[in-house]
Structure 1
């Protein structure tokens, strides 16, 4: 039951953020959106380092000076996996007028949700593989540390939920309830991805370091490819940088203090 609650925490963050569509009248101001995008980037990079890559290296201590191999290989495969999804799944980002991926007849609102869903896949995988490490009993990962990662993902999912649901109402012309539901549904992939990683790791415990690094690589791809460029567009790009710093430090504190 504790594991189930843990993997649902990030989804709850997305849902709460999507509920902002009921309380705020218009779309989020550009400056605030830059801060939130930077914040999400900082949380994801810190989580990738402290919750995923460092444990992956520590789990490979028996490889001596080659203990970096699982982390390096897993990270590169994770980035390649997200690159493949980016090329194969039709989607459209908030500030872009041109869809990405294969040609599709989907509506803009659907393409926006698919873009956020792509972001959420590696986050769900990250939470799932950390809980898988906890269940294995051999990784040194504690329940507190796993929950800290889940909370970090939930914190950064809150603004992400708002960023998707509010434009769906203001620009997509959908009702508040539909915008809320669509924003929430973009986060469903997180508990599903987490559950898949837990099931996979239970049968392949020896590859746990690779799975940890795989999730890290997938998240870093999202940060470098999407979040940071969006936070740096136009004027006042330093707002995104400040948001990154706040998110990174907060996630680092959560992981070190609670882990």
Structure 2
């Protein structure tokens, strides 16, 4: 079981690393169309994962509440949304193609704040993976090894374009290929860390696991709506982002059904 959990935690990080490695293969500049497509795909995967791998299991585990089975999931969902809103207001970060940083004022370099922006929205993904494996470890209802692995693989798939999206602009901003690769990879290191921290507190969270699953879903969807959707829709031919969103959603939905 420990090996399965280790693999489940590392698979998403490997996805980020492989995506960041594209900086060694691609030109210094990423086209707007490709960036929009990759962002849309990542958004689609995250939305599907939030629904099938987090919110639905959360309500299934609260079935004993009858018609109020939605309460833990909804409460956790709003908690996750508020948590990401708080981090968004506190941590200095800079979104791609933006000149005005968000969060508290700081004297950090532009490239550092770009990395922090991606790192910030990797936190809920790590928590989502950690919550599912914590439930699996302690025998949570509706939690299966194949279902947990489907979430890990789905997050890894959407982490691949994220790794590319962060490493390529850093290269264009003047960083060496090696440094851009390390920065992109480092932005994903928070995921296994957040997942492991969640698992370490498994004994405490299992009684409130439905709420925690909802929390992770709320945090992930906050990232999608606040950051990814605007980035995939900006400029002409935004239908590219929409179609890739649909593809990402479909891929995650298929993974969850096939492996779940």
Q: CA deviation at 1:195?
A: 0.7
Output the TM-score relative to the length of structure 1: 0.98
Report the counterpart of residue 258 of structure 1 in structure 2: 259
Deviation, 1:174, is 1.0
Given that 2:205 and 2:212 are in contact with CA atoms closer than 8 Å, whether structure 1 keeps it comes out as no
Counterpart selection for 2:65 from 63, 66, 74 = 63
Residues 201 and 207 in structure 1, CA contact (< 8 A), matched pair in contact too: no
Structure 1, residues 132-182: CA drift from partner, whole Å, max 9, x if none?
1111213221111101100000000001101110110112x1111000001
For residue 39 of structure 1, what is the aligned residue in structure 2?
41
| Per-residue deviation, residues 7-45 of structure 1 (Å, max 9, x unmatched) | 011111000000001011222211111111111010000
Aligned match of 1:73: 75
Give how far 1:202 is off.
2.4
Q: Identify the match of residue 93 of structure 2 among 91, 94, 98.
A: 91
Mapping for residues 33-182 of structure 1, pairs under 5 Å: 33-171=35-173, 173-182=174-183
| Paired residues, number | 258
Q: CA RMSD in A?
A: 0.8
TM-score, with length taken from structure 2: 0.98
Deviations 1:62-111 (A, max 9, x none): 11110000010000000000000000000001110111111110001100
Gaps of 5+ in 1: none
Q: Where does residue 239 of structure 1 map in the other structure?
A: 240
Runs of 4+ in 1 over 2 A off after TM superposition: 200-204
Q: How does 1:5-24 map to 2 (within 5 A)?
A: 5-24=7-26
- Output the CA distance in 1 between the equivalents of 2:160 and 2:212: 26
Whole-angstrom distance in 2 between the partners of 1:69 and 1:131: 22
Gaps of 5+ in 2: none
Structure 1 residue 256: Cα displacement: 0.8
For 1:107 and 1:226, locate their aligned partners in 2 and report how far apart those are by CA, in whole Å.
20
**Separation in 2 of the partners of 1:13 and 1:243?**
18
| SS at structure 2 position matched to 1:186 | helix
